[in-house]
Every structure is written in structure tokens, then in C-alpha cells.
Chains A and B, each alone.
Chain A
Amino acid sequence: MNATLKRPLAMFGGGLAAIGAVGVLTLGATLSLFSDSDTSASNTFVAGTVEVGPDGASTTCTVGQIMPGDSSANFGSGSGGLTPCAYNVVYTGTAAAWLAVDVLINGGTPNLFTGLSDGLQFRVLADGTTSIVNGTSFADSAGSSATVVSGSTVSDILVSGTPAVTNDTVQFNIDYLLPLLAANSLQGGTADITLTFHAVQSANQPIGSCQAGRQCLDITWG
């Protein structure tokens, strides 16, 4: 019984195999197309860079035992016998950039910097021309005089109205004076001043109403 049933199935199976073989041959002929391909040259995108860093010989001041009447060489009054501080920086990015500086004055107890005429005075100049801090004040975004407050950063003073390019340098000079009328309460006091130099791409960032030597709020500083 089983043998009788197997034979017709085997014959039927052989027929299917033959049909399949023909089908494969036909299909293979259909898929064999002429073709070609070409690749464009690489489209390369290189981002510009914005980088800043110190530039050679800066002079960090460590002024000990300052007395009323003591001042640095270029302050314009006082003894003029002390060394000015200098902070030299270079812009090394490849993209044009706006440059700004932040100024932070901190004091101890007592604080030599009172924010008044009877405390330590600082004069910060960029490249000898652009005033950043004058005594105890700076120029806000409107050009009005504002008082430097100890412990509060004076931020984003624009260094130049022209974007910096690779290898542009800026020298910041800090001159200082402890006036003769400095109060007795300032004996043994301390203060320090730190400059933070920063750059941001000028592309797609119009200068707006910003001017060199003033706080600049129209630019996103990152």
C-alpha cells in the first residue's frame, strides 16, 4: 500500500524540479543588467576654530607691603616706583572673532579695594589705548560710568570694534595706586585682580551698538 502511493509522488516531485530549473535559468537572464556607477569627489567641510591663549611674557604682579602713595610706573601719580602688571594674549583661531575681557577684583579682610577714592585704584588698558577699568569704574553698554564692585565680575568689555584674525595679539596693562588718603583700616589688607580674555565667532554675530571699551551685550559670548 505504501509502495503504491510513493511512486506517483516521486514522479510528481521530479516534474516540479524540472520546472524550477527552467525558472531559475529564465530569472538569471532577467537580472543580468548592464550598469555603471560614479562617485563625486568628496565634499569636505572644515569648521573654523576659535582659540585664545597666553602670549609669551606676561607680568603677574605680586605686590607686597604696599603703602599709601605707592603706585606703578605708568599710573600717572603716586610714587611710580612699582612694576606694572601685564597680560599678553594671542588669538589663534582660524575664524574671525570678537574679543572681550572680564575683570574680577576680589579682596580679603580688610579689602584694599573699596570701590572708592580711598582704596586701591586700578587702570586697565588694552594695547595702551582702550580703557577697560579706570580707577574704580568702567563703561557700561551705554557708555555710562559704572562702579567696579569687589567680588562681582565686570564682564564682556569689548576690546576692539574690528574682529580679530589669526595671530592677533592684545596686551593688557594694569597700573595701580594706593592713594595717600587710604584709610588706616586698610593696613594689612589684600586685593587681587584677574583678567579673563575671551573670543567668540564674529560670523553671523553683528556688532550691533557695541563699542570698544564698553560692556557689549549685543553679542552672544558663548
Chain B
Amino acid sequence: MHVTESVFAAVTSSTPNQFVGATFVPSIAPTVNVVHQANTTTLSWQPVSVTGAGVVSYVVRRISPNGTAVIVCTGVDAPVMQPDGEMLCIDGGSGGRRNLSYSQQPVVVRNGVATWSLEPSRPVRGL
């Protein structure tokens, strides 16, 4: 004999609580515009923003022909937004060498910790 047991029961559900992660705009790091002077190199690029809380910083790399990368535009030489909206910094250690390439990488730093970032931009050689 088959017996089906039954109990009184009831149920109610919450509305789903939704979470969406922030994104960078644009989603691909803009390339660097490189202009060599006699002993320095001026670097500029379009800024990147993030849709959530946080400020975007930039890691700028000088890349030698052998592939060695050095981080530049730090400290007092950190990139600064220009009146026209472009980011700009000057690499004072380039010696004006024209065989150097540069890339920049947007990074969000929170509480002193580098969190989300974009892939570095495609390296670009100067004019």
C-alpha cells in the first residue's frame, strides 16, 4: 500500500537583491601619444574613468627595445589632467631616445591597494 504523507506548509520569497560590478570607460586603455624632445619625452593620453567609487591612477611604462620595462611618471612627475581633459606627464629620464616605447595602465587604488585595472595599452614608439 502506498501512503502519501502531507503536512501544512507555506512559503514566500524575497525580491532578488542585485549586485553589479563597476567597469572602466572605455574598456580598453587608450594608447599613449609620445613626443620626444632633446632630453625628455612628453606623454599624453585620453583619460579613463570608472563607474564605481574610486579614482583612476595610471601606471606608465617606458619599454626599451630589449623589452625591459621601467615605471615612469611617478611622484612629482605623476600624470596630471590638462585643461583639455587629456592626461599628461613628462619622462625626464628618457634622454630623448627615439627607440623607446610607452604604455599606460589605468588602475584603481583604494586604501593604498591597487585593485581593478585594465590591461596596459599597446606600446607606442615616439615621433
Given A186-B21, A188-B23, A93:B10 Cβ within 8 A: yes
List, in ascending order, chain A residues with CB within 8 A of B111's CB. 69, 180
List, in ascending order, chain B residues with CB within 8 A of A81's CB. 53
Assess whether B21 is in contact with A89, with CB atoms less than 8 Å apart.
no
Residue-wise, chain A 152-196 has the 8 Å CB interface mask toward B (1 for contact) of 000000000000000000001010101011101011111111111
List, in ascending order, chain B residues with CB within 8 A of A93's CB. 8, 10
B17 at the interface (CB under 8 A from A): yes
A217 at the interface (CB under 8 A from B): no
Number of interface residues of B (CB under 8 A): 32
Chain A: CB-nearest residue to B9: A222
Contact among B7, B11, B18, B115 for A67, CB-based, below 8 A: B115
Known: A60-B16, A184-B117, A222-B7. 14 other contacts (CB 8 A): A61-B17, A65-B21, A67-B50, A95-B8, A112-B20, A174-B17, A190-B19, A193-B17, A193-B19, A194-B16, A197-B11, A198-B11, A199-B11, A201-B9
Number of interface residues of A (CB under 8 A): 60
Assess whether A112 is in contact with B19, with CB atoms less than 8 Å apart.
yes
